[in-house]
Amino acid sequence: MYMPVPARSQVEAAYRYSVRELRLDLIKSSFNILYKRTTRSHDAIHLLLSTAPSMFPEKPKRGMKSWQRYSAFISYHWDTFELAHNSYYEALRANYSAGFILLRSALELLIRGAFFECLAHEQFREKSIVLDGDRAGARLKQFLSQVFARKPEVEHEFEQFSIAIYDKIARIIDDHRFRPSNSTMLKQLAEWGAFCGIRYPEAVVSRVYGKLSQDVHAHPDRTDIGRILIYSSRQLFGPKRVSRRFLLEYSDDLKEVIDIGIVTTCNLLQDNLIQYPETRERLSQISSEARALGLGYTSRRIAQLVR
């Protein structure tokens, strides 16, 4: 089918219109209202991204497959960063519902990536009491046991390339009979030590996840219109404005999600600190930056890991 090429003027006009519609000017308004909080939020997101690479050797030896061992988690870790980053800019443009929804999705990616990373390794599967007591969790473990029975080499493959677990569970991953609830995954991750460094981790992560879920499930008070009706009804039919109240709330939630994310990353990759001692210094630098950004879970946990 012939597709006419748009004239350059049409492309430029569409682009200019899109830029206006995006209301990028609101980002500047957000900076004017809460410069320190918003810029620290941005830096925290990028600190999450840099944490995983800092725990691997800068110049791996030939044939080394260090990152592949953790690839089930790392593949989700990257998308966690992308969603958190997009969430941040939605919030700066006063699209608070979109910001909170994307932030919940980022947290869910983090949880699922950590869960399947652990599940790919025998040391965690052997100590999964929470899953054993959960119907869907037990079925999932039984399914993997059947995979290993048919092809024993798959178990070794998981240890070397954890991302391979997604190929093996592809046909059941969306089947509710094999899908543990978010609550079950959190309990099991806490038992596995994925949140070590966070006091009462299951309660903390569940609280953050539950709060953000109100936006995902369109609770009337958590829509942008609902927020306006409750706190500033006179602005209902006016132009979109930045709200200090919601920007503060968002910054607090983002900080906690990122803090949880970096702690989880450090815990899952902590064996690298022994295998590659040179990474300890880089992780100490992450701790210094985390402390400056107010990421308390992160700075405390890294201090425990590198001492």
For 268-289, the three-class secondary structure string (H helix, E strand, C coil) is: HCCCHHHHCCCHHHHHHHHHHH
Please give the pLDDT value at position 75. 94
Q: What span, in angstroms and rounded, lies between the C-alpha atoms of 202 and 121? A: 22
Please give the pLDDT value at position 258. 98
> What's the pLDDT tens digit per position in 104-142?
999 999 999 999 999 999 999 999 999 999 999 999 999
Please give the pLDDT value at position 275. 85
Stretches in the chain below the pLDDT threshold 50:
none
Please give the pLDDT value at position 231. 67
Residue whose C-alpha is closest to residue 49's, from 73, 81, 74: 81
Burial of 138 (0-12, 13-18, 19+ CB in 10 A): middle
Are 256 and 208 a contacting pair, CB within 8 Å? yes
Q: Which two tokens stand for residue 30?
A: 């957000």
**Backbone torsion region of residue 294, taken as left when φ is above 0, otherwise alpha when ψ lies between -120 and 50, otherwise beta:** left
Please give the pLDDT value at position 236. 66
Please give the pLDDT value at position 212. 94
Q: What span, in angstroms and rounded, lies between the C-alpha atoms of 108 and 206? A: 11
Half-sphere exposure of 107 (CA within 13 A, CB side): 28
- Kindly list the domain boundaries of the chain, sorted by start residue: 32-58+78-115+183-306
Please give the pLDDT value at position 238. 64
Burial of 79 (0-12, 13-18, 19+ CB in 10 A): middle
Are 25 and 240 a contacting pair, CB within 8 Å? no
pTM of the model: 0.91
Are 126 and 135 a contacting pair, CB within 8 Å? no
Residue whose C-alpha is closest to residue 298's, from 306, 87, 290: 290
Please give the pLDDT value at position 287. 94
